Amino acid sequence: MNKSILFLFFVLGFQLSFGQNQNDYEKVKESVISAYNSGEYKSIFDSYSVEMQGAFSLDKTEEFFRNLKTSAGNIIDSEFLTFNPPYTIYATEFDAGAFMFSLALSENKEIIGFKFTPYGKDTNLAEADTMLNLPFEGEWYVVWGGDKKEDNYHVEHPAQTGAFDFLKINDDLKTHEGEGSTNEQYYAFGKEILAPAAGEVVMVVDGIYDNIPGKMNPDFVTGNTIVIKLKDGEFLWLAHLKKHSIKVAEGDKVEEGELLALCGNSGNSSEPHLHMHIQDELRMNSAKGLKSYFKRLKVDRKYIENYSPVRGDLIEKI
């Protein structure tokens, strides 16, 4: 199959709602897959909102899915990746290759948009000049990081292409104690976040509440946030910080290793973790991400220099 083929549709701009829980999306996703594999494309069309049906007719729907079936075959498996408003995104394996299946629902659990994009493509990122140090003490786990979509869902988003998501795990690979129903049960929550490099604080967002684990706040995607200008063309973002924990203000000069804030669970975050990336300008909606390297660290408890972590790494500051 030609992996450059892009199968997609759009999200309609009609009263988007993000109140559904993950089970709602899972049920609709499974019904779409079942209908697709059995060739019952009208069943998918019947799951659209009225506005979606008006914009994407039954004939167009049937043509779209017939073409997808011809090129990619049946769907073998599909697993949740992330929620990126307004989409819930699934890593989806077809007979002829892997795609990201993105699904958007209305508050009535009707389909208002979807897209299929090739999954696993390498990126060719420009690299940041500034070498970093890890922004925390102790061992942390890289849940998203790297140049491939299967390792880093951020690759889909231009400004965040080189992003990392870090969290803490125990020896049993769990991120929390007990049931994980409160933020305080998560090992990452409240941990100190340090400046990865020297620079000037150019943006601070604070006062966003920390989510209940399993719930997300897409109205403030990055939550409590600090942006540090490292140099011209390099802006480092630290996101999902704990409410009212930020120790710096816009205009402050910070040094590498300086305490900035505490790890939280604010914004578009389902559990306490740290999001970090460098982009080439301040505005996220027009920026391009840069690949970043750490000058020295332990990776899986082995010393390494000039390294950019990838998904699955256990990393520690030296």
Give the residue extent of every domain in the chain.
7-118, 139-317
pTM beyond cutoff 0.85: no
Is 15's pLDDT higher than 50? no
**7-118 adopts what CATH topology?**
Nuclear Transport Factor 2; Chain: A, (3.10.450)
pLDDT of residue 236: 98
Closest CA to 267 of 226, 221, 300: 221
pLDDT of residue 21: 64
Q: Tens digits of per-residue pLDDT, 207-224? A: 999 999 988 998 899 999
Higher-pLDDT residue of 84 and 317 is 317
Distances (CA, A) of 75 to 71, 85, 149: 12, 24, 19
Mean pLDDT computed over 121-126 = 68
Cα distance between residue 68 and residue 182, in whole Å = 42
Helix (H, G, I), strand (E, B) or coil at 69: helix
Helix (H, G, I), strand (E, B) or coil at 114: strand
What average pLDDT is seen over the chain?
A: 88
DSSP-assigned beta bridge partners for residue 231: 234
pLDDT of residue 42: 96
Confidence of residue 125 (pLDDT cuts 50, 70, 90): confident
CB 270 within 8 A of CB 317: no
Cα distance between residue 197 and residue 279, in whole Å = 15
Is 19's pLDDT higher than 70? no
pLDDT of residue 84: 61
Q: Tens digits of per-residue pLDDT, 44-92? A: 999 999 988 988 899 999 999 998 898 889 999 988 877 665 678 888 8
Phi, psi dihedrals of residue 116, rounded to the nearest 5° = -125, 120
CB 164 within 8 A of CB 277: yes
Is it true that domain 139-317 has CATH number 2.70.70.10? Answer: yes
Q: What is the DSSP letter of 155?
A: G
Nearest-10 crossing angle of helices 22-38, 58-72: 80
Cα distance between residue 256 and residue 265, in whole Å = 24
DSSP-assigned beta bridge partners for residue 194: 259
pLDDT of residue 207: 96
Please give the share of the chain, as a percent, with pLDDT higher than 90. 64
Among all chains, which residue has been given the structure tokens 């494309």? 41
CB 229 within 8 A of CB 253: no
pLDDT of residue 102: 85
CB 272 within 8 A of CB 263: yes
